[in-house]
Amino acid sequence: MSTLFANHAEKLQAAVNACKTRESYSGWPENPSSKLHGDELPAAGKARFDAQLGKPFELEQPAEIGRLGEERSPYTRELLGISYPKVDVPQLFQAIEQAKPAWASAEPETRLGICLEILERCGDQLFENAHATMHTSGQSYVMAFAGSGANALDRGLEALAYAHKAMEDVPASGRWQRQFGRDGVADLHKQYRIMPRGVGVVICCATFPLWNAYPALCASLATGNPVVLKPHPNAVLPVALVVRTAREVLAKAGFDPNLVCLVADERDAPATQALLDEDATSIVDFTGSPRFGGWLENNCPGKLVYTETAGCNSVVLESSNDLDATARAIAQSLCQASAQMCTSVQNVHIPADGVRVGDKRVSYQEVSQAICAAVDDWLTEERRAATLCGTLFDDAVQETVDRYRELAGDRILRDSAPFAIEGFPSARTATPLVIAATEADRDWYRQEVFGPVSFLIRNDDAQHCLADATGNARDCGAITSHVYSTDEAFLEKAVDAYHGAGASVACNLTGMPINFAAAYSDYHVTGLNPAGNACLTDLAFVANRFRIVQTKYMAP
């Protein structure tokens, strides 16, 4: 057994077990508190980030033909001033070609061991990564530490658990004996070998750069494929840190570091097409816009394409025993990470005749007010507001908010406004904009409106709420969907309707961040609606990333 595999076998087994029981598990700490980590580690992480600002990012990769970089902090609005290699893609792929055979020949456990070690080493730089994520993706420190740290690493480990299961399903050898007619017994020794598909290209998004990067990297690399990571131009640093770590681990283990490479680019000179043009690119993992994701799904014949894009996540609010708790749960989703999460709620469907609460019926207006008040409540304390909302990663998000403010006019139920973040007077921030809508406004809400913009949609009745929400999930995609109802029959109908639309659904979630997607437990993205064509992670996410070749030997 490879040493690295042995070192991490227990953690891998815990992940495999959690995938089976679907219970709560995490391999890394989610809380950045000094009470847990002491003062030194957090300070060292910040120092490393600070020291990187204004400097070239050290990454010795082949095919460097210059430097690039245009990251700007949503907190300071200043350029980070970090430069990354500008890469000649065909030349890089020649170098990757050299790295392939030894990696393909390595035992699955050797590759898994190295992937586990990469995750472990990335886990050592969670504080540095948190600052890197804050100042690129705009997340708050706490979110950047947990959501882009432990929660993302867990998803990488989850992918390794599935890769392990899928590869373990292929025995290394077998013996086959049978009689053919009068020719005696044919006695064959057979060997089975896992073969990679080619190069995996991982296209990362701006707001959660590592969320799908870890699972894609791990799924492709563990099954034998070199991986090229292509970060979003405004969120390179978190990805570059992972690439550098991966290269160090690979080299230390005696493999070619070019098995994991970074191809950064700038908005005006994107590198994606050059990566897709390479024949060796056999696998594409994409996180980003539905438009480009859809294009990839339809225009990469012969390549495996896995996408997570976006949809219009909904809440159907039929009835509740505790309207305050429900409003509070919904409001938290409208605030969290300024609704720049793939799991953020956007469309809240409320029956025109109101919501049954206990034995009363509460009007649409009162429910709207409760949700808006709950939003305000989350934002009362300045510090909590900053931690919950973070910043807007890009000017375009603020422009979206502004556009909808203008469109909505007197239909604004709760207006958006900047809020202060201590220590960052220039931070780009916006509290949730909440808009009253009806089905006549379908053009507004039947798409992902990226950022803190939500719609409280007054549908004719609960049936119409459900029909609207599930129709939108089917046609426009959904990653999370929520139903609040105390009526078992309605819940059952709602679950069936969402499932029929290819969407998963959560019922009556309160007292927790409803945006939370749990690795090992939640099958994230169904692949059955336009919000993505794959699940991250299930067996299908990994089983096709490798192939099997065999050898039969006749026993002499």
Which stretches of the chain bind its own copies, using CB under 8 A? 20-24, 165-166, 169-171, 173-178, 180, 183-184, 186, 188, 190, 192-193, 195, 197, 297-299, 301-302, 495, 498-499, 502-513, 516, 518, 521-523, 526-528, 533, 535, 538-540, 543-544, 547-554, 556
Residue closer to its own copies, measured from CB, 21 or 98: 21
Nearest residue to 309 via CA among 227, 397, 207, 230: 207
Confirm if 258 and 225 have CB atoms less than 8 A apart: no
Residue closer to its own copies, measured from CB, 161 or 339: 161
Residue closer to its own copies, measured from CB, 136 or 472: 472
Nearest residue to 482 via CA among 498, 468, 471, 493: 498
Tell me the closest approach of the beta carbon of residue 544 to its own copies, in angstroms. Answer: 4
Provide the angle, in degrees to the nearest 10, between the axes of the packed helices 108-124 and 237-252.
130
Tell me the closest approach of the beta carbon of residue 227 to its own copies, in angstroms. Answer: 19
Q: How far is CA 546 from CA 164, 219, 220, 247, in A?
A: 12, 10, 8, 22
Three-state helix/strand/coil letters over 421-464: CCCCCCCCCCCCEEEEEEHHHHHHHCCCCCCCEEEEEEECCHHH
Tell me the closest approach of the beta carbon of residue 171 to its own copies, in angstroms. Answer: 6
Instruction: Identify the burial level of 158 via C-beta atoms within 10 angstroms of its C-beta, where 0-12 means exposed, 13-18 middle and 19 or more buried.
Output: buried
Tell me the closest approach of the beta carbon of residue 478 to its own copies, in angstroms. Answer: 11
Residue closer to its own copies, measured from CB, 440 or 549: 549
Tell me the closest approach of the beta carbon of residue 195 to its own copies, in angstroms. Answer: 6
Backbone dihedral angles phi then psi of residue 229, each to the nearest 5 degrees: -100, 130
Provide the angle, in degrees to the nearest 10, between the axes of the packed helices 237-252 and 213-222.
20
* Rg for the chain, CA atoms, rounded: 25
**Measured between alpha carbons, how far is 445 from 454 in angstroms, rounded to an integer?**
8
Tell me the closest approach of the beta carbon of residue 111 to its own copies, in angstroms. Answer: 17
Residue closer to its own copies, measured from CB, 297 or 468: 297
For residue 511, how many C-alpha atoms fall within 13 Å in the half-sphere facing its CB?
3
Tell me the closest approach of the beta carbon of residue 16 to its own copies, in angstroms. Answer: 11
Residue closer to its own copies, measured from CB, 184 or 409: 184
Residue closer to its own copies, measured from CB, 315 or 528: 528
Residue closer to its own copies, measured from CB, 77 or 190: 190
Tell me the closest approach of the beta carbon of residue 485 to its own copies, in angstroms. Answer: 11
**Measured between alpha carbons, how far is 477 from 503 in angstroms, rounded to an integer?**
8
